[in-house]
Amino acid sequence: MRAIVLLLVFLFGFAAPAFADDVAAAQSVIRAQEQAFGRDDAAAAYSHAAPEIKQLFPEADIFMQMVQQAYTPVYRHKSFEFGEARAANGRIAQRVHIVDDNGEAWEAMYTLEQQSDGSLKITGCSLLKAGQAV
């Protein structure tokens, strides 16, 4: 029995840091893109987008224009705080609590996927006013 408990502790002990490392890496990518938006640095913001996003928006300026129009709270805000995250099979979902420039609360759900080169890229962002049903 003791051996089973030790085995479980050993297995879960290594799983938690990997999860934490994945989430920290995802948050770093999201934060870098958020900061690029704040500087109006389209090229830097675009560099964090996954290839699927780049197919939809083939140039950094087109991508930035879409964010400005459709994701205004992501583009400009008073606060941007990380919430719950989930990771599995090279994919991460990260919730972000946002307060926009007008003081309205929003919930964003970022998805990221590990690329063949090992980097994480943002594959999507869903945005809802806080309390709004999905």
State how far the alpha carbon of 73 is from the alpha carbons of 54, 126, 132, in Å: 21, 12, 15
pLDDT along the chain (134 residues), means of 10: 40 49 94 98 98 97 98 97 91 96 96 95 95 67
CATH class of this structure's domain 2-129: alpha beta
What are the b/e assignments for 6-40, b being 16+ CB within 10 Å? eeeeeeeeeeeeeeeebbebbbebbeebbebbeee
pLDDT attached to residue 58: 97
Q: Which residue has the tokens 């948050």?
A: 27
Q: Where are the domains of the chain?
A: 2-129
| Tokens, residue 85 | 């995250």
